[in-house]
Amino acid sequence: MKKAAKLLTLFLSLCVSMLLAAFSAAAETEGIFTYTVSDGQATVTAVDFSGQEEIHIPETLGGFPVTSLENGFMRDTTWVIGDDTVAALYIPKTVTNISASAFEIADLAKIIVDPENPNYVSDESGVLFNKEMTRLLAAPNGMPIQSYTVPDGVTYIEAAAFRFSQFLQTLILPDSLTSFGSQAFYWMRSLKSIVLPEGITSIGQNDFAYCRSLESVSLPSSLRTIASSAFTECYALKEVIIPEGVTSIGTYAFESDSALERIVLPSSLQTVRQAICGNCPKLEHVYYAGSSEDWAALNVQTGTYAGDRTDAFDVAAFHYNFDVTPYKTIRVECDNDVLSISGSADLPAADSDTFQFWDEHKEAVTAIFFDGEITGVGSRAFSNFPNLSYVIFNAPSVTLAANAFSNCPELEAVLFFGDAAIDAAAFDTDASTVQIYRPQSAAFSFTPSDGKFHTIPFSFADGVLHLNGSVTWDGYQFLDTMTAFCLQFDPIDVVTCTDFTFDGLTLYAVQASGKKTRIEDNRLENAELRAAIGDQEETVLTFNALVRGIADGSISDFRMLAKDEDHEEIKDTPLEIKDDTQEDEGGFGGFIRKAIKWVVRLIDSVLKVLKVFRKK
């Protein structure tokens, strides 16, 4: 009987405790805040932030100190990111516990923590950290900035910390970072580039999924695993170089990366899951550091999947025994038949067994643009480009080996904007004349084996581009060469030259009376040229405006204004340039319509590359 009484007493005590706990944890509302109370402390569970410009979490609710913020307490229930952004959230000194995903889907621009808070701190951008600033806990998805640098000393980034970030285009991570939580960078819709520091060993499932603006990612040599769907639906990602040391790549790791053109796989791979590059229609070349036997031994599962979509590994060309080392510090882009190579490297020589990144474009390429610290080009590195016409080196110093550009029969001009040491046999071409432009003040070494190469020193100062030599241009060469100079110098108001000759075009001096006088031999000595729109002599353009106007279609006809000491009749008068092959299309107007397509390709592509790489 006594034992039964004791059990009854214990049962009643438990019931009372449960009722008291339920009563104390019942949700209460005060203003825009919903909260619960436990052990005499309040936890904020929800905030009605609709229409609120700022939110100040109070130190007390219902007379109890506010010590905790619950997971998802500011969740946007509409799931529409950015529809109702709060400018700032103020966290008081009493809050000592913030759940890991407290700010999930929160439309928030800035977090501001009371300086007296013992556990948390925020920086000037409104990012939340632990007090020691070794862990980044949350970055508001509405931060109104395009670039953010994680402070040095941070070793860990919390799960979902940057998830759904709206505006960040560049995220710079510190060398101190060693890991990050699940989906830390998930769906950062504006992120364009990221470099993961040495020390990172794994990329988890969905960590970078749906970063649909991501154009480039640099992976560290410390990396060992890439989980499933890590980079799925990164629509702008064109190239991935996976470093040696990586042993495992999960299912769908790069699935539906619709712009992906090339991927480099290390010989260290032990596990490759199904469809890591499924539904990647532009992936035509896969580069693998191991042998074909090594790849076969991996027993990679391929074949159609998920509604008969194609696994790119079924259709891509594989290149084995690929040495990626020279390509780690450069970026290769080909757009509109213009090949652009940027970064820092000595580009390696090639032999008959070597396949290089740019070889996949060689049949179509008409111009090659080198930008940055490209210090050398090895033998046969760019051989057998059948349509290559122009090569531009925007590098401080470069060395070209023998046969670097062998068997390029259409080569017309090479422009250097820095020092150059060129082997006598660097260029092998069937062209009758190749014009080599180089700075007047640069160190320059080139003694070709035949007389088809014509070197033209140039200088630029105060808007005047001076070509110190004899130049022969047809209409296309004129526009193409001026495009290259305009990419380097701005503004170019006037072009001067000791000797101009226009090939395939007829030059006329137009008198005030309208009478046209043909210029003998199409040659202008000690001349200067300016550009004007059509017949509007007073509308003088910079050459930069001219080539951009041709590129965007706003200029479809133009004239040259010329001065020549031996042709007084054309002084300060329009110079009509007439294409001899376009008699029935209105002279130069016909020529310009014909020429626009090529120039548009060159200008649009190279300007795009300059914009991307000079930001880095």
What's the mean pLDDT in 290-318? 84
Length of the chain: 616
* pLDDT(304) > 80: no
* pLDDT(307) > 80: no
Rounded to whole angstroms, the Cα distance separating 102 from 158 reads 11
Lowest mean pLDDT among 3-17, 162-176, 459-473, 548-562: 3-17
What's the mean pLDDT in 376-402? 93
What's the mean pLDDT in 196-225? 95
Of 194 and 532, the one with more pLDDT: 194
Find the helix or strand (DSSP H, E) in which 603 lies: helix 588-613
Rounded to whole angstroms, the Cα distance separating 537 from 574 reads 7
Rounded to whole angstroms, the Cα distance separating 310 from 275 reads 8
Mean pLDDT of the chain: 84
Instruction: Read off the tokens for 289.
Output: 């550091």
Which sequence spans correspond to the domains of the chain?
27-148, 192-328, 329-456, 462-616
Of 354 and 595, the one with more pLDDT: 354
The pLDDT-based confidence of 583 (bands split at 50, 70, 90) is very low
* pLDDT(52) > 50: yes
The pLDDT-based confidence of 587 (bands split at 50, 70, 90) is very low
Rounded to whole angstroms, the Cα distance separating 378 from 399 reads 8
Q: Residue 180's Cα: distance from chain center in Å?
A: 24
The pLDDT-based confidence of 561 (bands split at 50, 70, 90) is confident
Predicted local distance difference test score (pLDDT) of residue 20: 38
The pLDDT-based confidence of 554 (bands split at 50, 70, 90) is confident
Rounded to whole angstroms, the Cα distance separating 161 from 130 reads 13
Predicted local distance difference test score (pLDDT) of residue 567: 60
Domain range 27-148, CATH architecture: Alpha-Beta Horseshoe (3.80)
The pLDDT-based confidence of 273 (bands split at 50, 70, 90) is confident
Q: Give every strand in the sheet of 54-56, ordered side by side.
A: 54-56, 88-91, 111-113
What's the mean pLDDT in 560-571? 66
Determine contact, residues 67/97, Cβ cutoff 8 Å.
yes
Determine contact, residues 342/371, Cβ cutoff 8 Å.
yes
Of 568 and 487, the one with more pLDDT: 487
Of 568 and 183, the one with more pLDDT: 183
Following DSSP, what letter does each residue of 195-229 receive, concatenated? EPPTT--EE-TTSSTT-TT--EEE--TT--EE-TT
Predicted local distance difference test score (pLDDT) of residue 23: 40
pTM of this prediction?
0.69
The pLDDT-based confidence of 352 (bands split at 50, 70, 90) is low
The pLDDT-based confidence of 350 (bands split at 50, 70, 90) is confident
Predicted local distance difference test score (pLDDT) of residue 69: 95
Predicted local distance difference test score (pLDDT) of residue 576: 63
Q: What are phi and psi of 169, to 5 degrees?
A: -100, -30
What's the mean pLDDT in 139-153? 95
Predicted local distance difference test score (pLDDT) of residue 82: 63
Q: Which pLDDT tens digit goes with each residue over 67-95?
A: 999 988 887 766 666 667 889 999 999 99
Predicted local distance difference test score (pLDDT) of residue 596: 42
Lowest mean pLDDT among 53-62, 397-406, 450-459, 529-538: 529-538
What's the mean pLDDT in 377-382? 92
Instruction: Give percent of the chain above pLDDT 70.
Output: 84
What's the mean pLDDT in 426-445? 90
Cβ burial, residue 95 (10 Å; 0-12/13-18/19+): buried
The pLDDT-based confidence of 122 (bands split at 50, 70, 90) is very high
Of 541 and 575, the one with more pLDDT: 541
* CATH match of 329-456 with 3.80.10.10: yes
3-state DSSP call for residue 24? helix
Q: Which pLDDT tens digit goes with each residue over 213-257?
A: 999 899 999 999 999 999 999 999 988 999 999 999 999 999 999
* pLDDT(296) > 70: yes
Which CA distances in Å does 63 have to 47, 376, 540, 603? 18, 73, 76, 68
Query: How would you classify residue 428: left for phi > 0, otherwise alpha for psi between -120 and 50, otherwise beta?
Result: beta
Q: Which CATH number fits domain 192-328: 3.10.110.10, 3.20.20.80, 1.10.8.100, 3.80.10.10?
A: 3.80.10.10
The pLDDT-based confidence of 579 (bands split at 50, 70, 90) is low
Of 306 and 198, the one with more pLDDT: 198
Determine contact, residues 57/91, Cβ cutoff 8 Å.
yes
* pLDDT(38) > 90: yes
Q: Do domains 27-148 and 192-328 have the same CATH topology?
A: yes
264 bridge partner residues: 241, 287
Instruction: Read off the tokens for 272.
Output: 């490759």
Of 464 and 586, the one with more pLDDT: 464
Predicted local distance difference test score (pLDDT) of residue 153: 97
Task: Give which of 517, 490, 494, 492 is closest to 506, Cα–Cα.
Answer: 517
* pLDDT(568) > 60: no
The pLDDT-based confidence of 22 (bands split at 50, 70, 90) is very low
* pLDDT(537) > 70: no
Sequence-distant (≥ 6) Cβ neighbours of residue 231 within 8 angstroms: 208, 209, 211, 214, 217, 237, 240, 253, 254, 257
* pLDDT(477) > 60: yes
Lowest mean pLDDT among 20-24, 306-310, 331-335: 20-24
